[in-house]
Amino acid sequence: QELFYFDELSPGSCFFLPHGARIYNKLMNMIKNEYFERDYNEVITPNMFNIKLWETSGHAAKYKENMFLLDIEGQEFGLKPMNCPAHCMMFKHRKRSYRELPIRLGDFGVLHRNEISGALTGLTRVRRFQQDDGHIFCMVPQIRDEVAGVLDMIATVYRYLGMSFTLKLSTRPKNALGDPETWEKAEKYMAEALDEFTAKTGQSWALNPGDGAFYGPKIDVQVFDALKRPFQCATVQLDFVLPMRFDLKYTTRSATTAGAAGDPSVVTEERPVLIHRAVLGSVERMMAVLIEHYAGKWPFFLSPRQAMVVPVSPACEDYAKAVQKKVRKAGYYVDIDESHRTLNKMVRESQLAQYNYILVVGREEEANETVNVRTRDNQVHGVKSIEKLIAEFAELERNHTLDGFMDKTGS
């Protein structure tokens, strides 16, 4: 399908060809639309930081050997392997109030991880990649609602993709950092969010005691493709440690009876909780999973080849180009077969190339400004006006329709 390739001159870094880039961008745009609906703010952060940042975050001690490091004017810098420290910097760059929380940040920044060459495996293990990386800064009592919101986003996106998943709550390990009482509250709120999700969707969850990260409890999300193979893509992780390491604080107004004035309000500071979350995870890895999941038959809303216009003869080529122009202007990927072979051969090759729809045009269609529609699975939808075709394409995209359930009635 000519989606991507790798080259030894840049090991572990994918070259996305035009059709692959179309899918990549559609996946990211799907997440961006969810961000807009769910009050996230997308940010852009630098690719390279002084090693001091990674010393503050703790990654220099635990992750330095997996980073690409550079010497710049006698100082050590590193390409970022994750976005969370930069988002902590953003939170800290000015005073924050409890009124601002929760703060939801999304970042598609390019990440680099220095995987050993023997570990590189196609799109599933790379050195250069992007994530639908999100971080939520919130107060402890907001954990339940924020986790519930993330679970709803995960369910929504994987419903679009036609994939099932399981959920496990991993709780406080022996090497946990942070206040035990805060851990207990956080686990309680996460369990309540999961129970709420179960009540809403009917999907159960399991407890995984003692398997949380040292910095906070987490929900492990295991995704299954069409062949029921499991993949770890989405994640929801609470973090008490990074807010401590970066000394993140927000101001809150609380009442106190101290002081000669009687009952004044005083300003205090508290530390936020950080929620790391991803839905697709690495976009590269998700593309690899979806290539197998769909077996190359991309649903219309993700397809890099949405329609092929097939003129029945050279005399109809000008009308075919007019159809292409009109459908492309509406925002869809449409090509023309100008080979002038037999109609059956052109239709069959378009189907084998996995074009979702084949639009056959002849003299009759030109006279009526219509197209004759069939699918890659050879379902004949018959004659439609171009306006109705575009309206139905819009509905397929808007509803994230997995198969071509186009209206089979005519124009």
Give residue-wise pLDDT tens across range 102-161. Answer: 999 999 999 999 988 888 888 888 999 999 999 999 999 999 999 999 999 999 999 999
Condensed to tens digits (0 to 9), the pLDDT of residues 198-232 reads 999 998 999 989 888 878 889 989 898 888 888 88
| Active-site hit among 130, 131, 142, 306 | 131
Instruction: Examine the pLDDT at 175 and tell me if it is beyond 50.
Output: yes
Which residues make Cβ contacts (< 8 Å) with residue 397, sequence separation at least 6?
300, 301
Which residues sit opposite 335 in a β-bridge?
Answer: 308
Residue 269 has pLDDT above 70, yes or no: yes
DSSP string, 355-375: -SEEEEE-HHHHHHTEEEEEE
pTM of the model: 0.90
**Annotated catalytic residue within 133, 220, 239, 337:** 133
Residue 266's pLDDT is 64
Q: Check pLDDT > 90 for residue 240.
A: no
The answer to whether 239 is a known catalytic residue is: no
Which helix or strand (DSSP H or E) is residue 59 part of? helix 59-63
In the block, tokens 């390491």 appear at: 245
Give me the pLDDT at residue 256, please. Answer: 38
Catalytic-labelled residue, pool 112, 127, 218, 374: 218
| Distance between CA atoms of residues 152 and 168, nearest Å | 15
Active site residue 195: no
Task: With CA atoms as reference, report the closest residue to 344 among 360, 355, 332, 329.
Answer: 360
Across 21-30, 83-92, 226-235, 258-267, least confident range:
258-267
For the chain, give the percent of residues with pLDDT over 90. Answer: 74
Gap between the Cα atoms of 399 and 156, Å rounded: 11
What is the percentage of the chain residues whose pLDDT exceeds 70?
A: 95
Of the residues 87, 112, 113, 293, which is catalytic?
113
**DSSP assigned state of 313:** S
Active site residue 112: no
Whether residue 113 lies in the annotated active site: yes
Which member of 22, 80, 84, 132 is catalytic? Answer: 84
Please confirm, yes or no, whether 87 is among the known catalytic residues: no
What pLDDT shows up at residue 265?
Answer: 58
Tell me: the pLDDT tens digits for 1-30?
899 999 999 999 999 999 999 999 999 999
Select which of 276, 285, 293, 376 is catalytic.
276
276 is catalytic: yes
- Give the pLDDT confidence score for residue 177 in this predicted structure: 75
pLDDT, averaged across the chain: 90
Give residues with Cβ within 8 angstroms of 63, minimum separation 6. 54, 81
Q: Exposed, middle or buried: residue 238 (CB in 10 Å: 0-12, 13-18, 19+)?
A: buried
Listed in sequence order, the DSSP H helices in 202-309 are 241-245, 283-294
Which residue in 345, 339, 333, 341 sits closest to 308, CA to CA? 333
Which pLDDT score is estimated for 259? 40
Q: Smallest Cα–Cα separation from 6: which of 125, 122, 128?
A: 122
d(CA 75, CA 73): 6
Confidence (pLDDT) at 228: 87
Catalytic status, residue 293: no
Count of Cβ atoms closer than 10 Å to residue 359 Cβ: 26
Q: In this structure, are residues 411 and 381 in contact, taking their beta carbons and an 8 Å threshold?
A: no
pLDDT at 41 over 80: yes
Catalytic residue, chosen from 22, 135, 271, 388, is 135
pLDDT of res. 129: 95
